[in-house]
Structure 1
Amino acid sequence: MFKNYNVLKDVVFLEKNNELFLNLYKKLESVLSCTVKARPQDSPIWVFENQLKKSEDPKKKARSEKYSTVRQMRNILAHDEMGDDEPFTVNDDTIEFLESEIKALEEQKRALDVCVPFSRLLYATKNSLVTVIATKMLEKGITNVPILNEKKVIGMFNGKAFIHIMKSRKGVTIDEHTKMKDIKQFLYLDMNDGIRYEFVAKDTKLDILSQAFKRTNKGKIELLIVTDSGDKYEPVLGVISPHDILERG
């Protein structure tokens, strides 16, 4: 059929690409299953494709189109009912795209890579003076300071705490002697008028961290608190703000 051996060699190579493509697609699904939150009936690739599509970044939108293409190609190859002949052969560019996506996702930064580590964290204890911490917050431009007990988060000090104190009818005042324990009733994590704090595992990938900061009907997450496995009873390893995602991500 082929008079030129080199042409025949190229065709055989391209046909092998189809099998490689399907294997890489499965691997990409596996990698993304650890990155995106998908319902059991949804493909992680489809979910990630839609996340990229919603982005305002042109590069991410372009990636979403490539994801759509490879997803359709996979569906045709996996459910081909045309017999032994392949409906098409996957080109090298598509193989390279899958390989590069897998590599990028596997090497993606994680929570521990982008957080403000404990060694540089401004935090308070129950015996910290409120005015001292407030002054440091103003100097450093920090809006949220975790209250720790043995490195475990027991509350959060921020501007909302002052608002709650001012609105309080219990006659609470703050002076140079006031300690965090004196206003602890205003420092609980769930007392922040629509602002939320979530705990994340140190290995949580950047894509999930970025999604966490999007406002939902549950309110806005202002700070992510990093622990070993995401358990709130574990020692804090660091914190992540939206600014940290932009700066280090």
Structure 2
Amino acid sequence: METDKKHAFLDKFQELEKYLRIEYVNGSYKESTFMGTLFRIRGRKENKIIANPHYFDTLQQAAQLRNIIVHNSDVAEPTDRFMKRFFQVVNNILHPIKVVDIMVPIQQIKKLSLDATIGEAIQLMETTGYSKIPVFSGYELQGVFTEKSLYYCLSLDRDAVITKNRLLHDLLKAIDLDGVPAKYFAFIAKNATAFQALGYFRRDFKEKNKLEMLFVTPSGKREESILGILTLSDIERAL
């Protein structure tokens, strides 16, 4: 059993090493060490997973363990916990999770049309527990109704009369993505990786903004059809 575990670990390590040489050094074996390749990839930020300190540390530990096992197989063996972590990191490198794989498809999104009323929007928020409701005109995204939309509406027009029967179309300036709500949302391509999506939220956090949701389109352009949505919690569950 222990031998099988070591073989599985070494096979996975070899698979990763071969991939990195092909992907980043054109199959060359001039690079003296595995860690030398990793440090270069991290330094050039060529792979977001390898550049992540937590995952890099796992790979570094794996390299050290590999060397110990190869030179003296009786000295050490990988634990089940480490094997699980190492395999997850390697699989994320070899087969990156794509945004399209973890997004909430447009068909499953609770959404409204511009012809819906404010009352309907509020009721949908209450029944679903969602604080943000995308608003569409056909298949085209027009904006997002949030808990602050009515406040935005009044800030744009202090004389505005807001009733439950008013249409969302009347609030278009307050909910469209050209105005105040724009900083809370961004667009990303369906084939972007989960780590690239995570980068949006991390960058936004550093800039002290409040990105809440990514809209997924074929190539990340706003004018394209919305395929789904992605939140930080969706990404964290996947990774």
Q: TM-score, normalised by structure 1?
A: 0.64
State the percentage of identical aligned residues: 15
Match of 1:211 in 2: 199
Match of 2:46 in 1: 44
Q: Which has the larger radius of gyration?
A: 1
- Residues 8-57 of structure 1: per-residue CA shift (max 9 Å, x gap): xxxxxxxxxxx998643234549xxxxxxxx9x82414x54442x2xxxx
The CA RMSD over aligned residues, in Å, is 3.8
Tell me which amino acid in the other structure corresponds to 1:148.
Answer: F
In structure 2, what is the Cα distance between the partners aligned to 1:218 and 1:190?
19
**Aligned CA distance change for structure 1 residues 98 and 241 (closer, same or farther; 3 Å):** closer
Q: Greater helix share, 1 or 2? A: 2
Match status 1:144 vs 2:132: yes
Match status 1:26 vs 2:18: no
Match of 1:232 in 2: 222
In structure 2, what is the Cα distance between the partners aligned to 1:237 and 1:151?
10
Q: Is the 8 A contact 1:24 1:98 kept in 2?
A: no
4+ residue runs over 6 A deviation: 19-22, 96-100
**Aligned CA distance change for structure 1 residues 128 and 248 (closer, same or farther; 3 Å):** farther
**Aligned CA distance change for structure 1 residues 223 and 98 (closer, same or farther; 3 Å):** closer
- Residues 174-220 of structure 1: per-residue CA shift (max 9 Å, x gap): 21321111111111224336842111111222222222222131622
Secondary structure, counterpart of 1:148 in structure 2: strand
Secondary structure, counterpart of 1:173 in structure 2: coil
Match of 2:167 in 1: 179
- Residues 99-142 of structure 1: per-residue CA shift (max 9 Å, x gap): 97554334333222222211111112221112101211121111
Match of 2:56 in 1: 64
For structure 1, list consecutive stretches of 5 or more residues without a partner in the other structure.
1-18, 31-38, 54-60, 72-87
Secondary structure, counterpart of 2:184 in structure 1: strand
Match of 2:28 in 1: none
1:105-184 equivalences in 2 (<5 Å)? 105-184=93-172
Residue 237 (structure 1) shift = 1.1
